[in-house]
Amino acid sequence: MKILVATEKPFAKVATDGIKDIATKAGMEVVLLEKYTTKEELLAAVADVDAMIVRSDKVTPEVVAAAKNLKIVVRAGAGYDNLDLPSLTERKIVAMNTPGQNSNAVAELAIGMMIFMARAQFGGAGTEIAGKTLGIHAYGNVGRLVGLAGKALGMKVYAFDPFVADKSIFEKDGVTEVGSVKELYEKSQYLSLHIPATAETKGSIGYELAMSMPKGGTIVNTARKEVIDEAGLAKAMTEREDLKYATDVAPDAKEEYAEKFSKRYLGTPKKMGAETAEANINAGLAAANQIVGYLKEGNTKFQLNKF
Ligand code: NAD
C-alpha cells in the first residue's frame, strides 16, 4: 500500500523520517511530493496511492477524482477547510484531521504576538499584558491553551464557545464564560480568535465587534483569514486609531493593512502557527499512525465525514 505525503510546505525531515518509519513497520510505502508548484504534479502523484497526508494542501474534487485508489486522506493539522468533504464522502474516502497535535505551537504564537503588540512591536515603550482582559473566541484545543497561558501571565480571561459540551471546564480553568460574541468583544482588551472557518463564522468578525472593544483593543488571529470581514475591520481601525490587529493568516488586503495601519498591524510573513519542530513531528506522526490504524484495523476515531 502506498501513502502519499503531498506538502507544498514540507514537514521537517525528522517528521518525514518518522512517517516513513511508521509506514515501513506496517508494510507500507511512502511517496513524497514536496514543494510542488503545479496542480498537475499533485494530480499525477495521487493517481495510484491508497492514502494521503496533506498539510494546507488543497484536496479539491479534481484531486479526489484523480485518486483512483484513495481510501483515506489525513490533514496533518486541526483546520480541515482545505479538504473537499462532499467529493471524498461520495467516493467513501475517509477524511481525518489530527486535532490537538499542533495546538501548543499555535497557542505560544498567539501569546507571542500579543506581547509583541503590547510592546509596540519593540519600537518604543509599550504596556504589559498582566492585569488586562483576554477574550478567547472558541474554547477548543488552541483556545484553551491560550486561555490558560493568559491566566498564568496574570490576565483576566473570558471565553465564548457555545459548543463546549462540558461547561465545568471554564470553572476548572478559572475562565469566565460569557453568553454572546458581542459581550466577549466588549470585555476584551485582547481578543484571541480560534473559531474554525465555517458558513456561520466566515466574515463574522468585522466593524461592529471591533468597534465594541475597549480602548487599545487588539485582535490576534491565529485561526483563518476567512473569518474576518476585512473591509469592516479596516473601517473600524480607520475610525479608531487605538485598535490593533495581529494575524498569522494574511488578509487578502495585506498590503493595504500594512500601509494604512503601520505598527497597529502585524502579519507573519507566512502562516507560522504550526511551524515548530514539535508540531511538525506530532501532526505528521499522528497522521501516519491514523492511516495505519484505519487501513489495518478500521480505526475511524478522527473521521470527519460520515457515510
Ligand atoms: P478545535 O476544533 O479544537 O476547536 C475549535 C473550537 O471552535 C471548538 O471548541 C468549537 O466548539 C468552537 N466553535 C466552532 N464554531 C464556533 C462558533 N461559531 N462560535 C464559537 N466557537 C465555535 O480547533 P483548534 O485546534 O483549537 O484550532 C482552532 C482553529 O485554529 C482551527 O479552526 C484552525 O483553522 C486554526 N489553526 C491555525 C493554525 C495556524 O497555523 N495558524 C494551526 C492550527 C489551527
Do residues 145 and 237 share a domain? yes
Q: Confirm whether 307 is domain-assigned.
A: no
Domain, as residue range, for 195: 103-267
- Residue 222 CB–ligand 1 contact under 6 Å: yes
Q: Which residues contact 90 (CB under 8 A, 6 or more apart)?
A: none
Do residues 157 and 28 share a domain? no
Q: How far is ligand 1, taken at its centre, from the CA of residue 24, in Å?
A: 33
Do residues 55 and 116 share a domain? no
Rounded to an integer, what distance in angstroms lies between the CA atom of residue 227 and that of residue 222? Answer: 11
Domain with 77 in it: what CATH number?
Answer: 3.40.50.720
pLDDT in tens, 259-292: 999 999 999 999 999 999 999 899 999 999 999 9
Mean per-residue pLDDT, 228-250 = 98
pLDDT in tens, 117-157: 999 999 999 999 999 999 999 999 999 999 999 999 999 99
Do residues 183 and 284 share a domain? no
What is the percent of the chain with per-residue pLDDT over 70, rounded to a whole number? 100
Do residues 110 and 97 share a domain? no
Q: Confirm whether 303 is domain-assigned.
A: no
Q: Confirm whether 90 is domain-assigned.
A: yes
Do residues 200 and 179 share a domain? yes
Q: How far is ligand 1, taken at its centre, from the CA of residue 200, in Å?
A: 13
Mean per-residue pLDDT, 55-68 = 98
Measured from the CA of 77, which atom of ligand 1 is nearest? 43
Number of compact structural domains in the chain: 2
Ligand 1 atom 44, closest CA: 78
Three-class DSSP category at 267: strand
60-64 contacts: CB < 8 A, separation 24 or more? 60/84, 60/87, 61/86, 61/87, 64/88, 64/91, 64/93
Do residues 150 and 246 share a domain? yes
User: Per DSSP, what are the bridge partners of residue 177?
Assistant: 159
Three-class DSSP category at 209: helix
Do residues 161 and 241 share a domain? yes
Measured from the CA of 105, which atom of ligand 1 is nearest? 42
Q: How far is ligand 1, taken at its centre, from the CA of residue 297, in Å?
A: 29
Q: Confirm whether 53 is domain-assigned.
A: yes
Instruction: Give, in order, the Cα–Cα distances in Å from 244 to each of 29, 236, 256, 273.
Output: 48, 10, 14, 19
Q: How far is ligand 1, taken at its centre, from the CA of residue 193, in Å?
A: 8
pLDDT in tens, 15-24: 999 999 999 9
The per-residue pLDDT for 209 is 98
Do residues 172 and 52 share a domain? no
pLDDT in tens, 146-202: 999 999 999 999 999 999 999 999 999 999 999 999 999 999 999 999 999 999 999
Do residues 110 and 253 share a domain? yes
Do residues 152 and 208 share a domain? yes
pLDDT in tens, 65-90: 999 999 999 999 999 999 999 999 99
Q: Please give the DSSP secondary-structure letter assigned to residue 304.
A: -
Q: Confirm whether 304 is domain-assigned.
A: no
Q: Confirm whether 77 is domain-assigned.
A: yes
Closest C-alpha among 76, 81, 109 to residue 9: 76
User: Per DSSP, what are the bridge partners of residue 94?
Assistant: 72
Q: Confirm whether 302 is domain-assigned.
A: no
Measured from the CA of 204, which atom of ligand 1 is nearest? 18
- Residue 16 CB–ligand 1 contact under 6 Å: no
Do residues 110 and 256 share a domain? yes
Q: Confirm whether 59 is domain-assigned.
A: yes
Q: What angle do CA 205, 206, 211 make, to 5 degrees?
A: 115
